[in-house]
Each structure stands twice: as structure tokens, then as C-alpha cells.
Structure 1
Amino acid sequence: MSMLVIAVATLGATAMSPASPAQADDEQPTTRELLEQCDDGTDLCVFHPSGAPVDSMGDAHQVGDSFFNCTKDLQRSTVGWSDTTGETNTVGVSMKAQYGFTKLFSVTIEASYSHSWESSHTEQQQTNVEVKPGEVGYITREAAMEEIDGTYEMHFEDPYYGHRIWYVPFTAKGPKADAPSTKTQHTRKMTKKEKEQHCS
């Protein structure tokens, strides 16, 4: 008897399995529910990166405290700061969590690109900033990031939500610990309110 192979899309995941033309798939798993089956209900679970990591810089944000120069002279301030950059991914789960799919992701990245995946990275530094009279100085930082896209291929011995094979797209973005971040010194004139608060 001939069988019809159908594809079912659910939140970006695609299922492939033999099915009859009349089979309906009204209820489908979430992406997280699917991934949590990796190595805990699957015969095969593999992560296929779609290409090399894509490097970028994170959003600029202030680190450390602002320095208010209430004197009549140019002042140099040393701003000490500590900043932690985290990760984001398709399912919002830390890749340090003890799930089969997170372990597989980390192992695959290290084997494919010869460096480990960083879920978070903390940088500490002291940065100098020169501030003119009546101005406020501060430091911003942009963290070096990398983004990895790929697909989990999952095979089940017994049909899972009606299908034995699932393909689940996955994207993760995290700090690139071995790449330098961008630190920038800024100055601007104090507002009237800031002068009252810090210079009175």
C-alpha cells in the first residue's frame, strides 16, 4: 500500500512522516516541548548549524557611575565598572541548563568551530574619562556577540504528535568572550536638575 509523506509546520518546526491523506494534526507541540525530547525520547537528535557564527556588537549601554564635574577645572575621573552580558535563544532557556538539546548544542559548536559557547560573560575594568567644568562624564560598552542558526533533526521510534521525524529551527545569540568589547567615553553638559543634585 502506498503512503503519503506530509509536512506539518508548528511554530517554525517541521514534521515529516508517513500518514494517510485524511490524517489531521490539530494539536502540535511547542518548540520547547519538542526540544526537551532530545535524547530523552528520541532515537536520534542532531543539531545542524546552517553556517559559521555571525559576529556583531551588542547595544551600547552605560557601565559604572556618571562623574559630575562641579569644579572650574578639567577633571579626570577613573570609572570602575563590571558588566555581564547574557544570551538569548529561540526558547528562552539558558544553554547551561541540563537538557539534552542544550548539551548537544554546546558539543556541536565546540566540535564545529573549535571554541566553546558562552552563556554569559563578565568584564571588569577601570576606564578614564576627562570631564570639563559643568559637564558629566560616563562610559558606555558594546559587547562582542555571536549568533548561530541551525536546525535540530529529531527521530522518534514511536510517533510524537503523529510524526516520527521533526526538524526544529533554532537560533542562539551570546557573548563572544575572546573578542574585545567597545568602550566609549562620553561627556555632556549637566542639566539644571543635575547641577542642583550634585553641585549644591
Structure 2
Amino acid sequence: MTVKVRLPLLLAALVTAGSAVLSAPGTALAEDQPTIRELLDKCDNGTDSCVFHPDGAAEISMGESHQVGDSAFNCTPDSQTTTVGWSDTTGESNSVGVSLTAEYGFSLVFKMSITATYGHTWESSHTESELTAVNVRPGEVGWVTREAQMQHVSGTYELHFPDRFHGHYYWYVPFDATGPMPDAPSTKTQHTRAMTDQEKADHCG
């Protein structure tokens, strides 16, 4: 019986005579051992099977707050409502540093697994555009920030080879990725503060 074990090592480690676990992107146990990227490139491209097993529920969180659109400077003696137009794109990241946009190999396996496990698709990139009204008092500057809703997924690729690949029929590759939550609203916030003397000189001179 083959026992599957995930070891908390940064390098490849033998599990049984015919299987191995590989962790730490870009590393290998020895010169004749593959990197994570090399193994993932073999997914459905030389394997009998390639399956991604999520560890559990996706972790949902808000992304980093950042300004979108231009700042609005009010140099008049009256309060002004300014419409700030903006477009903002949220991308993905993962433990290997590769794009999951491709519709083949480990990318397709990952996205199919996400759909089957969580009932929604994986988005590698999501762009949101909007016109946001900001009320700016005299002598102040206003701006808009956005936080996108993100999902973090971790799990293991299980690869079965018809012949030994670098000495093993089975490889287990840890992988995690973070991307925008599909069809989830982001948080937009309007801000104002007093202009600095330099800002007044630059924009109200």
C-alpha cells in the first residue's frame, strides 16, 4: 500500500519507493530532481493523470486598499462635488509565480478543480470601472480608494506518470494561489483632507 505523506521540508523527500513530495518553488533535492515548475508543466502533458486536491474551504479576505483615479483638489471657496472616474484591475498571484490564464495543463486542472469544489470559476484578472462622486470642502483634496474581495486557495497536485519520472511514478506538488473573487463587489471609500501648502501652490496657484 502506498502511503501519501506531505513533509514540511523545503526540498524533495521520498515517500515510498515510487512516489515523492516536492515543495519550495524552483528547488530540487539534487541536480537530477525536477523543480515544481517542471513537474507542473508535465500535468496532462506526459502524465497518466494530474489532479489538484484543495486543502479545504477557500480563505476570503479583502485586498490591499489603494487609490484609484485622480485626486480632486478644491481651490474654490465653496464645497464641490467632483466625479472621479477610475478603472482598476486586480490580478492573481501564486506560489510558483506563473499565470493561470492558460486553458491547458496544470492551469486548466486547477480551474476545473476550483469550479467543482467551490461552485464558481477562478478569475486570474478582474477589472472594475466606475464614476464615484466625492464631496470636497474648500481647501481640501479628495480621492477614492478600493479594496477588492480576494480568495486564497491551497492544495496539492497529484501527478501519476506511466514511467518513472526522475525516479518516481507519483509526485505530490504543493501549490497555493490568490485571485479576485468572481462577481464579488469591492469596497470603495471616499476620502478628504486639507491640502498641504505645496499642493495649494501646485494646484491653486
Give the direction of change, closer, same or farther, for the CA distance of 1:141–1:13 in structure 2 (3 Å limit): farther
Unaligned runs of 5+ in 2: 19-28
For the 8 Å contact 1:73–1:133, the answer to whether it is kept is yes
Unaligned runs of 5+ in 1: 20-24
**Cα deviation, residue 12, structure 1:** 6.0
Paired letter, 2:57? A
Aligned residues: 191
**Cα deviation, residue 117, structure 1:** 0.5
Please give the residue correspondences for 1:9-158 in structure 2 after superposition, counting only pairs within 5 Å: 11=10, 15-18=14-17, 26-27=30-31, 28-158=33-163
Within 1, Cα distance between the matches of 2:81 and 2:109?
49
State yes or no: 1:184 paired with 2:189: yes
Runs of 4+ in 1 over 3 A off after TM superposition: 5-17
Within 2, Cα distance between the matches of 1:167 and 1:45?
10
**Cα deviation, residue 166, structure 1:** 0.9
Paired letter, 1:26? A
Q: TM-score, length-normalised on structure 2?
A: 0.86
Give the direction of change, closer, same or farther, for the CA distance of 1:156–1:16 in structure 2 (3 Å limit): farther
Paired letter, 1:102? S
Within 1, Cα distance between the matches of 2:165 and 2:8?
14
Q: TM-score, length-normalised on structure 1?
A: 0.88
Paired letter, 2:203? H
Within 1, Cα distance between the matches of 2:35 and 2:114?
24
**Cα deviation, residue 80, structure 1:** 0.8
For the 8 Å contact 2:122–2:182, the answer to whether it is kept is no
Q: After superposition, what is the alpha-carbon deviation per residue over 1:170-191, rounded to whole angstroms, capped at 9, x for unaligned?
A: 1011001211100000111111
**Cα deviation, residue 6, structure 1:** 10
Overall identity of the aligned pairs, in %: 60
Within 1, Cα distance between the matches of 2:36 and 2:104?
14
Within 1, Cα distance between the matches of 2:171 and 2:187?
41
Q: After superposition, what is the alpha-carbon deviation per residue over 1:125-155, rounded to whole angstroms, capped at 9, x for unaligned?
A: 1111111111100000000111111100111
Paired letter, 1:178? D
**Cα deviation, residue 7, structure 1:** 8.7
